Structure 1
Amino acid sequence: MFPLLVVLCAIVLWAGITLEDAGDLLDRYGLLAVMVPAMIGMGGNLGSILSARLSTRLHLGTTTFDPTDRLLWANVAAIFALAATIFTALAVTVWLFGMVVGASLTLGQLLVISLLSGLSVAAIAVVASVVATYGSYRLGIDPDDTTIPIVTNVVDVFGMLVFLAVSRWVLVG
C-alpha cells in the first residue's frame, strides 16, 4: 500500500498547486473560493459512496462488472441524481450568500458552473470508482482498502481542474 499512498500524495499535491495557480480567478470572484471545498468534498463523497456499494456487492458475490448489469447502472444513475441535487443546492446556497455579501455572480452563472462542474466530477468519480474497484479485485486486493483513497484523490485533482476550467469558461470566456 505504501507505493499507492506515495502516488496519491503526489496527486493531491498537484491539486494544491493547481488551486494556488488559480488565485487570481478566485480573488476576482470570491464566491468561487466558497464553492471549492464543497465541490471537491462532494465529488469525493460521491465516488466513495459508489466505491463502497461496488465493494459490498463484490463481497456479497452479486456483481460481475458486466456492462448489462442493471443494478450497476442503477447505482450510477443514483450518483448522478444525487450530484444534480447537491450541486444545484450548492449553487443556490452560494448565490444566497453572495446576495448577503454583495457579490456580482448571478444565479444562472453559479448554476452553470456548479452543475456542469459537479456532473463532470460525478462522471470522473463513477469512472474512478469502477476502475479502482475492478482493478483492486483483479489484483486480488481488498477493494475496501484501496478504492476510497484512490477515488477521493483522483476526484480532488481532476475535480479541481474541471471546476476551474468551467469557471474560466463561464466567467472569462
Structure 2
Amino acid sequence: MMVPSGSLGSWETKKIVSNMFPLLVVLCAIVLIAGITLEDAEEMLNEYGILAVMVPTMVDMGGNLGAILSSRLSTRFHLGTTELDPKDKVLWANVAAILALAATIFTALAVGAYLLGAFLGFGLPLVTLLTISLISGMSVAVIAIVFSFAATYASYRLGIDPDDTTIPIVTNVVDVFGMVIFIGVSAIVLGL
C-alpha cells in the first residue's frame, strides 16, 4: 500500500530532518538542566553513595515508561482507533498499566539498592529508600504520562508523525524532571 507523501506516515528524509533537527537542538539544551542538577547534588550523592547508584535507573525508567505509552498512543493514532476521548477505557487501561509498572519497577529499585547497600556496607534503611524511590518514581511516571499524551496529540494535530517526535520529547523531558524530582525528594527525605 502506498502512503501519500503528505500523510503522517511519510518517510521522506528531508521532512524527518526538518521536523527533528530543531526539536533535537532544543531537547539537548533542556537535558543540560539534568546535568547541572546532578552536579549541584554531588555532595549529597558522595555522602549517600547508594543514591548515586539509583540515579541512572530512576532517570532511565521514567523515560522508558513514557516511551512505552507514547508508542502505544502513536500506534492507536495511526490505526485510527483513538481520538484521546476521556471516556476511552483503553486509554485508561494504558495509564493504569504504566502506573502499575512504575510501582513495580521503583519498588524493585529500592529493594535492590537496599540489598546492594547492605552488601557493600554503605546503605540507607529500606523505608528511606522505598520512600525516595516510590515518591520520585511515581511522580516521574505521572509526568511521563502527561507528556506522552501532550506530545502525541500535538504531533498528530500539527501533522507530524508522532513516531518521529514523541519518544525524543518524552524521554528528554522526563530525564530532566526525573533528575530534579529524585534529587529534591532525596534531599527532603534525608533532611538536607
User: TM-score, with normalisation over the residues of structure 2?
Assistant: 0.89
* Corresponding position of 1:12: 31
Q: Choose from 114, 125, 145 the match for 2:133.
A: 114
For 2:75 and 2:123, locate their aligned partners in 1 and report how far apart those are by CA, in whole Å. 45
The structure number with the bigger radius of gyration is 2
**Residue in 2 that maps onto 1:92:** 111
- Unaligned runs of 5+ residues in structure 1 are none
Q: Give the one of 32, 39, 63 matched to 2:82.
A: 63
Matched, 1:127 2:149: no
Match of 1:2 among 18, 21, 38: 21
The residue identity in structure 1 corresponding to 2:100 is: A
Q: 2:95 aligns with which of 63, 76, 81?
A: 76
Name the structure 1 match of 2:179.
Answer: 160
Question: How many equivalent residue pairs?
Answer: 173
Could you list the runs of 4 or more consecutive aligned residues of structure 1 that deviate by over 2 angstroms after TM superposition?
A: none
1:28 and 2:40 matched = no
CA distance in 2, matches of 1:88, 1:124: 18
Q: Deviations over 1:82-102 (max 9, x none)?
A: 000000000000000000111
Q: CA RMSD in A?
A: 0.7
* 2:142 maps to amino acid: A
Q: CA deviation at 1:147?
A: 0.1
Aligned residue in 2 for 1:51: 70
Structure 1 residue 14: Cα displacement: 1.2
Instruction: For residue 67 of structure 1, give the secondary structure of its aligned residue in structure 2.
Output: coil
TM-score after normalising by structure 1: 0.98
Check whether the contact 2:30–2:173 (CA below 8 A) recurs between aligned residues: yes
Give the drift of 1:104. Answer: 3.9
